[in-house]
Amino acid sequence: MAEIIEFSGAVLTGPEEERRGLWSVDGRLTFVRPLAKPDVVLDGWVLPGLVDAHCHVGLGKGGAVDEETAACRRLRTGMPGPS
């Protein structure tokens, strides 16, 4: 049996274009509705190719880190320091 995921939100397919009705069937994306019901339904925006690559150099597991730790993290990531 195929694993089916339905994406119920808008799919941005171009700068001024969006579609609805996207499914993943065994890991392959399709705009054709499968005959079987989905195993999972996800709601939200689908942004193909968008990667959220931001980071929080000033936060650790317990919250805020000291300025020296944040500065070291900024150097490792190549992020600019505070203005």
Q: What's the rounded Cα separation, in Å, for the pair 8 and 80?
A: 38
Whether pTM exceeds 0.85 = no
Res 53: pLDDT: 67
| pLDDT digit string, tens, across residues 5-48 | 999 888 888 888 889 999 999 999 999 999 999 999 998 877 66
Whether 69 shows a pLDDT value over 60: the answer reads yes
- Contact between 40 and 5 under an 8 Å Cβ cutoff? The reply is yes
40: Cβ contacts below 8 Å, ≥ 6 apart: 4, 5, 6
- Spell out the domain ranges in the chain: 4-42, 50-78
Q: How many CB atoms neighbour CB 43 within 10 A?
A: 8
